[in-house]
Structure 1
Amino acid sequence: MRGISDDVDDLLVRALQEDGRASFETLARLVGLARSTTKARVQRLIEDGGLRLVGAIHPAVFGLNQLGHVIIETEGAAGPVAERVAALDETSFVTTTAGRFAVTAELRAADLGSFSRGLAQVQAVPGVRAVQAITYLRIWKDPYFPPGPLESPGPLTDIELDGSDHTLLAQLREDGRASFTELAKATGLSPGATRARVLRLIESGIVHVGALVRLSPSTRTHTVGFAVHVTGETEPVARRIVEFGNIDCFATGVGWCNGIGSIRAGSPDEVLATLERLRELPGMRTVESWTHLRAVKEENDRALAVADPAPSSA
C-alpha cells in the first residue's frame, strides 16, 4: 500500500478532510495540477492509500451527547488491552501508542452517567493499570466530526429528520462523494430536492463529509497525540492551537488535562517544530505527547455499529 507519498497527496488529504465533496476543479487549483491528474491522485489514494471519503454523522443523531477521551497505562502487552477496549460499545476510536500511555480511546455515550459506566468498563479490562479521562466541552477541530462546540441538545434543535434524511445519512456514511443523482435514486426524491437536503444536513452540522485516513505504521505521515495544561483560561490558548495547519484535531474539557489533540506531520522534524510552538504559546504550562502507532478501532466505527435511528414522526 503506497499511502500518502508526497506533499501533494498530503495537501489533497487535508483539503478533503475539510470538504470531502470538494470538486476536482477546486482541488486541482489548490495543488496546481491538471484536473485529470488531480482526480487520478485522489482515486489512487482511495484505492491504494487507505483513504475513505465518508459522512461523519453527529453523535447526537444516535442519542450520543457525552464525548470524552481516555489514556490507558497497561500491565503487560498493550495489544490485547486495546482489542478489549475496542470491543466496548462506548468506544469510537482506539489506538496503540508509543510513550507512557500504551492505549488511547475516545468514548461516546448518551449522558454523563452512561459515560461514567463506560469508563468503569474500561477500568475493568484485564491488563489496565491506570486510566485518566477528559470529558469534552468543546470540539475545536476534528476532520471526522462536524465542527463546532458541543451544545445540548446539539444540531437537532432546528431540524427534524425523516426517513429520506436517514437514508441520505446512511448513503453518505458509506460514500461521502456519492453524486446527487445516486443519492436521489436511494431516496426516491428528485436530484434537486436531494441536493437541497444534503446541503441542509451539512450546513446544520448533522453530517460532515471528510477524508478518513487509516492510521498505519506503513504510512509516511506521523500522527502524534498531545495533551495541554494551561495556566489560566483555556479558550485563548485553544484558539491559537487550532490556527496551526498540522493540528489534526483538538478538544477542550474537564479532567486530567485542559485540552487534547493530535498532530499530523510528514516528518519527525515537523512534529518537533509543532510541539515546540505549542510549548511557547502564552498561557501554556506543559505539553505531553505520544505517538499513535495503529488504529484498532476507527473514528467512524461507532456510528457504523449503531443501527439507524427510527425516523422522526414529523
Structure 2
Amino acid sequence: MDLDQTDLSVVRELQEDGRLTYETLAQRVGLSRPATRARVQRLLASGAVRVVAIVHPAVRGLTASAHLSIDVEGAAAPVARAVAALPQAPFVTLTAGQRPIMAELRTAGFGALDQAIESVRSLPGVTFVDPLLSTGQVKDPYLLPDEPDALDLDATDHRVLAELEHDGRLPFAELAERVGLSPGATRSRTLRLLDAGVAKVVALVRPELLGLGHLCGFAVRLDGPAAPVARRLARWERVSFLSTCIGRAQLVGTITAESLGAVLETQERMRGVAGVRGVESWLHMELVKERYDMGTPHAPGTSDDT
C-alpha cells in the first residue's frame, strides 16, 4: 500500500508509543479524531502495520539468544518455514549472501539454546549452522534499554501482557472483559507494567513502507575490545540493530537503508572504523517471521508472519 506523509506521521508516532489515544494522535498529526481513527484502522487492516506489546525477554526468562547463519541443500524457503515454526525463533529471513537463511533464537538459558540450535541442525535440508551467541544487546528498536523493575507478576498480569502481545491497541474496556477486572483496575495494572519496563507497545512496520526497503545484516570482526566500536556504530541512524556476540565475529547487526547505495556507503564507513578488522554482510530478501510474543499461545486466527 502507498502511504502519504500523514500516514507516515501516524506510523512514526505509533512506533514510539503504540497506545497513544486517538485524541493525542490526532493532535500530533493534524487531523480530526475520526479521520485519525480511520487512518489507523486502515493501516492495521492492511497488515502492513501491527501494533503489539513486546515483553522484555527477562520477564519470560529468555536470557540466552543467538543469530544463526544456515546453509541448506535444495530450496531454502521450505527450510526457512520449518525454522520459523520453532517456538524459540522470533525472527527468520531468506537472504542473499554466503548462507541463504538467517534466524534469531531466544531461550531460557544456554542449555536450552544449545538444544534449539541442535533442533535447527536436525531439520531436513539443513547442511550447516553457524551460530553467533549474543552477549549483550547494544541497540534494539523493540527492546527497552534497561532491565525491567522487579515486579511480582501474578497470573492476571501475564494475561494482560498476553492480550496486548496480540493487539497492543486493545481498548481498556475490552481488555478488562478478557482478564476479568474492572476497566479502571485494568488500566492501572497495564500502566504499571508499561511504566516498569516490563513491556513496550510499538508499531511493527514493513521497512519498505517507510522508504527503507533495503535491509542488510552484518557481522564485524574486531582487533580489540567490542565496546568502543559498538558504541560508535550504535549512534549511526542506519544501524537499526546491534548486538555483541561470540563466534566468528564480535558484533552482529542490521543496516536499514533507503537504497543499495546507502547500504554500501554504510558498509564502507564501517570498514573504516578503527578496530574493525573485517565486515561480513548479507541482504535480507524476504521476511519469513517476525514475532516477539514468545512464551504465550497465539490468539485464534493469528499467524507467525508479519
What is the TM-score when the length of structure 2 is the normalising length? 0.83
Are positions 1:105 and 2:97 aligned together?
A: no
Q: Distance in 1 between matches of 2:226 and 2:198?
A: 26
Alignment match of 2:229 (pick from 226, 237, 246): 237
Tell me if the contact between 2:90 and 2:294 (Cα under 8 Å) persists in the aligned partners. Answer: yes
Instruction: Give the Cα separation in 2 of the matches to 1:15 and 1:223.
Output: 22
Is 2:293 aligned against 1:286?
no
CA–CA separation in structure 2 for the residues paired with 1:17 and 1:271:
23
Paired residues in the alignment total: 297
Q: Which amino acid aligns with 1:82?
A: A
Q: What is aligned with 1:56?
A: 54
Contact 2:54–2:293 (CA under 8 A) maintained in structure 1: no
Q: Distance in 1 between matches of 2:9 and 2:99?
A: 30
Q: Which amino acid aligns with 2:169?
A: R
Q: Does 1:298 align with 2:290?
A: yes
Once the two structures are superposed, residues 1-40 of structure 1 have per-residue CA deviations (whole angstroms, 9 ceiling, x without a partner) of x16x46665565454333222455665676x643556555
2: CA distance, partners of 1:18 / 1:256 = 34
Matched, 1:183 2:175: yes
Give the alignment of 1:127-142 within 5 angstroms. 127-142=125-140
**Percent identity, aligned pairs only?**
45
Aligned partners of 1:140, 1:13: CA distance in 2, in Å?
A: 24
Matches within 5 A, 1:1-314: 2=1, 5=3, 9=7, 12-23=10-21, 33-34=30-31, 39-148=37-146, 155=148, 158-213=150-205, 221-300=213-292, 302-305=294-297
Distance 2:9 2:278 in 1: 30
CA contact (8 A) 2:18 2:51 kept: yes
Note if contact 1:143-1:211 (Cα within 8 Å) is conserved in structure 2: no
Structure 1 residues 299 and 275, CA gap change in structure 2 (3 angstroms)? farther
Q: Aligned Cα RMSD in Å?
A: 3.0
Tell me the CA shift for residue 111 of structure 1. 1.3
The aligned amino acid for 1:169 is L
Residue 64 of structure 1 aligns to a residue whose secondary structure is coil
Structure 1 residues 158-202: Cα deviation after superposition (integer angstroms, max 9, x where no partner): 111112211211221111122333333333444443333222222
What are the ranges of 5 or more consecutive residues in structure 1 without an aligned counterpart? Answer: 149-153, 308-314
Q: 1:302 offset after TM fit, Å?
A: 3.7
CA distance, structure 2, for counterparts of residue 244 and residue 88 of structure 1: 33
State the Cα distance separating 1:227 from its structure 2 match.
1.6
SS at 1:125's partner residue? Answer: coil
Residue 19 to residue 63, structure 1, CA distance change in 2 (3 Å): same
- Measured after TM superposition, the shift of residue 105 of structure 1 is 0.7
SS class of match (1:158): coil
The question of whether the paired residues in 2 share the 8 Å contact of 1:57 and 1:146 is answered with: no
What residue number does 2:304 align with? none
CA distance in 1, matches of 2:188, 2:21: 17
Choose 134-143 or 51-60, whichever is displaced more.
Answer: 134-143
Structure-2 separation of matches of 1:258 and 1:26: 42
Deviation at 1:92, TM superposition (A): 1.9
Give per-residue Cα distances to partners, 1:30-53, cap 9 Å, x unaligned.
6x6435565554433322252100
SS at match of 1:91: coil
* 3-state SS of paired residue (1:245): coil
| TM-score, L = length of structure 1 | 0.81
Task: Provide structure 2 residue ranges, at least 5 long, that are not aligned to the other structure.
Answer: 300-306
Partner Cα distance (1:275, 1:10) in 2: 27
Deviation for aligned residue 1:270: 2.8
Q: CA 1:277–1:16 in structure 2 vs 1: closer, same or farther (change >3 Å)?
A: farther
